[in-house]
Amino acid sequence: MRLSYFLLSIILLIYGLIIARNFLYPLAFGILFSYMLYPGVNYLEKKGFPRILAILIFIVLAAAVFGFAVTIILKNSNRFLEELPALRVKTINHLDALQQYLENNFGIPSERLKNFLLEQIFNISAKSVEFFSATTHTIFTILMQPVFIFLFLYYRTKFAYFILKLVGAENRMITVNILREISKVVARYLLGLTTVVLFMAVINSIGYWIIGIKYFFLLGIVAALCSFIPYFGTIIGGSITLIFVLLTTDNAALPLRLVVFVYIVHFIENNILSPNIVGHNVRINPFIIILSLIAAAMVWGLPGMIVVIPFLAMFYVIINQIPRMKSYAYLMGMHGTKKHALNLGNIKKFLKKTKPGSGESEQV
């Protein structure tokens, strides 16, 4: 009976998340942005600034940075839009060549492939209203973020006292520790992730320029923004650039160079940049993170993949502070696999064991 209630609760929770998606994910972004700005706002308040003024200063600064980034992207997009008709003609020529190649080598009739492509175009046209609705909601979400951020930061003390009253006096200290740890972990994670994205924008733009890709700066920024999605972001961003290159260039070596570059950047981002800049703030093992990203994509799509890791980190902090939930925290965390990890210390141990003259080699 208890298991049945638990499974039913999980199903209802997932169903509620899907139904209330357009209401919940703007709030989720508002909470995360509030945690990102909280250290600065708290610093100004300690210096004697009124809370309203401190919040407004950082909201204006964040809006200025966001506006500057959007302006750079739009300026670089203008040249792309001007050359779009020529790119369209080149893309159609490449698709015609692909049809001919498939017909000559695999026996797939070009007429059937053409009908398939036309069907996909008609499907895209049929979904134009849905796309416009999604775009409108995205604009509304962006415009509402300053309001959400201001309200979350302004009423944060009230929310904290509400939670303390809810858990009772016996759990007060545990709850205070949880709230403090969550604020530190999420703020450090988001600031570190933003730093990684900025580094990736520079690395991608320089790399695309060296490779010889047109619109290298615009595509570099777009690919870098995908890095907000852990593990998959670099591959997604590189795939967008690869599709653009395949459809618009006649140079057969260019896609190959791009694939090699994306692989190198993916290795650098996952093994050097993210571990050293983002650090171990999340402290969740990659298996749980990957499963969470897949589940979030199924429930909320792209917004879900962006917000799921910080909220997973909050959940991990909560269960790690509750004694009866320690086993679940152990399952989610990084403990227990240290001796199997691929790091410098374990490599040295392995080389030492296999070195001629060592105890193990003598026994063998």
Q: What is the DSSP string of 318-350?
A: HHHHSGGGHHHHHHHBSTT-GGGS-SHHHHHHH
- Tell me which residue of 99, 96, 124, 97 sits closest to 113, measured CA to CA: 99
pLDDT, position 109: 63
Contact 292, 276 (CB under 8 A): no
Q: How does pLDDT run along the chain (364 residues), one tens digit per residue?
A: 888 888 898 889 889 988 988 888 889 999 999 999 999 999 999 999 999 999 999 999 999 988 888 888 877 777 676 666 666 666 667 667 766 766 677 666 666 665 665 555 555 444 444 444 455 566 777 788 899 999 999 999 999 999 999 988 888 888 999 999 999 889 888 888 888 899 999 999 999 999 888 888 888 998 998 888 888 888 888 888 888 888 777 777 888 889 999 999 888 888 777 777 775 667 788 888 889 989 998 888 888 888 999 999 999 999 988 888 888 888 888 776 666 665 556 667 777 777 665 554 444 4
Furthest CA-CA distance within the chain: 77
pLDDT, position 240: 87
- Phi and psi, residue 150, nearest 5°: -60, -45
CA atoms within 13 A on the CB side of 333: 17
List 284's β-bridge partners, or say none.
333
Residue 184 corresponds to which amino acid? K
pLDDT, position 161: 92
Residue 144 corresponds to which amino acid? M
34 vs 40: CA distance, rounded Å: 10
126 vs 138: CA distance, rounded Å: 20
Contact 274, 257 (CB under 8 A): no
104 vs 98: CA distance, rounded Å: 10
Give residue limits of the domains in the chain. 20-154
Distance of CA 84 to the CA centre of its chain: 29
146 vs 31: CA distance, rounded Å: 11
Contact 302, 225 (CB under 8 A): no
Q: What is each CA distance from 361 to 42, 321, 344, 348, 353, in whole angstroms? A: 59, 45, 21, 16, 7
